[in-house]
Structure 1
Amino acid sequence: MTGSGSMEMISRRIQEKHPGTKVYNVNRFESWSSLETMWHQVLEIGQDVANISSQYPDGINLIGYSQGGLVARGIVQTFPNVSVSTFISLSSPQAGQYGAGFLHVVFPGLVKESAYELFYSRVGQHTSVGNYWKDPYHQSLYETYSVYLPFINNHIKSAKSDDFKANLLRLKRLVLIGGPDDNVITPWQSSQFGYYGVNDTVIEMYNQEIYVNDSIGLRTLDKSGRLHVVTVPGVNHFSWHVNVSIVDDYLLQYLD
């Protein structure tokens, strides 16, 4: 629900610390348009990123915050002509979302227990949030209706499954940043591909099917030293991208 202005601090700090670095801050799908479907955002912003990438054949760094990190991963996996060296996911619901920390802003009165009734419908799938809502108690509906997350996670196989994995494996570095005090991404471990199992217990990424089966290449990236999992306590969701120390301590070291 924010826009490119919220990422200006990161942009400025990178340029201060890495003089001469060209930073592109995408300004599409700001405010209410951020609710447009994930595939639409991936394809539109992806074309922008592809145009930028074409100027830098040696590779670019891609940073995505919150929902933007899930859009960015979709771009990496979907566009074979986008050359990304490092992808940094900053507090993004990579394994899905099952929490009402932000729902009241967009869907007043909606609670997580009944949100599936909206999101797992053809109407609900016309919203970005619906595209990555993953209710652990209604998995069959998730698999039936969700048109985005189960596909880019290769939970549901498609004609693009092999490409989704191959394209992610082209990364030199995948950085997953999140923390226990986020209070919006739910569970917070979703930012690192962890998610709920039974009885609201969280299963860490390393024991998740997506890692064990190497569905999109996470295990391969990990075993080759290209997967970096960064946990930072004490950071609220709305502070990650406006906190200078987060940029200095956890982002800059990964930028080429």
Structure 2
Amino acid sequence: MELIKSRIEEKHPGTKIYNVNRFESWSSLETMWHQVLEIGNDIANISAAHPEGINLLGYSQGGLIARGIVQTFSNISVSTFISLSSPQAGQYGAGFLHLVFPGLVKDTVYELFYSRVGQHTSVGNYWNDPYHQALYEQYSVFLPYLNNHINSSKSEEFKANMLRLKRLVLIGGPDDDVITPWQSSQFGYYSGNETVMELYDQPTYKDDLIGLRTLDKTKRLHLVTVPGINHFNWHMNVSVVDNYLLPYLD
């Protein structure tokens, strides 16, 4: 994220930018709730120093962690949250899987992820197999709760905290090749098979489970689709920063 940080500093001199350095490399496989709480405490300290509100940007898995922080921490004041190519509705794709588990097959990996052992990995926490939704709901301890797909004692708070945002920006694109389906970066996802249902056809939106429809109706939801960008280039491409990040940070 250093390129993004330096570019913002160049274009907005004097802006205070924090690049949170946690859970790098293999430690990124630690559970999502653990990462949300640990990084969230860092962000809470940053937010306390800037009561006027902060902008929060997360890339890839970091964008899903960042949303978990937005929804979980009521004491953090986020004005704009930008999700940069993040699996917000989950992940079901071999390209992504083979980055961390090269020997596993997407069709059968649910047998690992939908178990108590599998839920001790971050990827298992948001692996959303459209063919095994009953097991997803039974075993997954993170994503179905964060998305209010399953009600919990935190459901109202999760939605209320999302609705405190002044702006939610969801960035993704069809040439990502890692986030699968790529529409997950904008809360679109597979139906009961591998047919993609866009955000607006999803229960998450139609039933306003976490406030996406309300954010949309109040013009606070922005979907940004950028073709031609591979997953590993989003955070390394100056034109992405200039054209799709900076306009939302003014």
TM-score range, shorter chain: over 0.9
Q: What SS does structure 2 have at the residue aligned with 1:230?
A: strand
Q: Partners in 1 of 2:208 and 2:88 — Cα distance? A: 15
Q: What SS does structure 1 have at the residue aligned with 2:107?
A: helix
Q: Which residue of 1 aligns with 2:12?
A: 18
Amino acid at match of 1:193: F
Cα shift at 1:104: 2.1
Q: Deviations over 1:132-178 (max 9, x none)?
A: 00000000000000000000100000000000000000000000000
1:214 aligns with 2:214: no
1:141 counterpart (132, 135, 138): 135
Structure 1 range deviating more: 168-177 or 108-117: 108-117
2:101 counterpart (107, 127, 137): 107
Structure 1 residue runs of 5 or longer lacking an equivalent are: 1-6
Q: Which residue of 2 aligns with 1:235?
A: 229
Q: Which residue of 2 aligns with 1:67?
A: 61
Q: Which residue of 2 aligns with 1:164?
A: 158
Structure 1 range deviating more: 105-114 or 12-21: 105-114
Structure 2 residue runs of 5 or longer lacking an equivalent are: none
1:254 aligns with 2:239: no
1:47 counterpart (41, 50, 62): 41
TM (normalized to structure 1)?
0.97
Q: Which residue of 2 aligns with 1:188?
A: 182
Q: Deviations over 1:17-54 (max 9, x none)?
A: 00000110011000000000000000000000000000
Q: Percent identity?
A: 80
TM (normalized to structure 2)?
0.99
Give aligned pairs, total: 250
Q: Partners in 2 of 1:162 and 1:72 — Cα distance? A: 18
Matches within 5 A, 1:124-135: 124-135=118-129
Q: Partners in 1 of 2:7 and 2:138 — Cα distance? A: 43
1:90 aligns with 2:84: yes
1:58 aligns with 2:59: no
Cα shift at 1:107: 1.3
Q: What SS does structure 2 have at the residue aligned with 1:94?
A: coil
2:146 counterpart (136, 149, 152): 152
Q: Partners in 1 of 2:67 and 2:43 — Cα distance? A: 12
Cα RMSD over matched residues?
A: 0.6
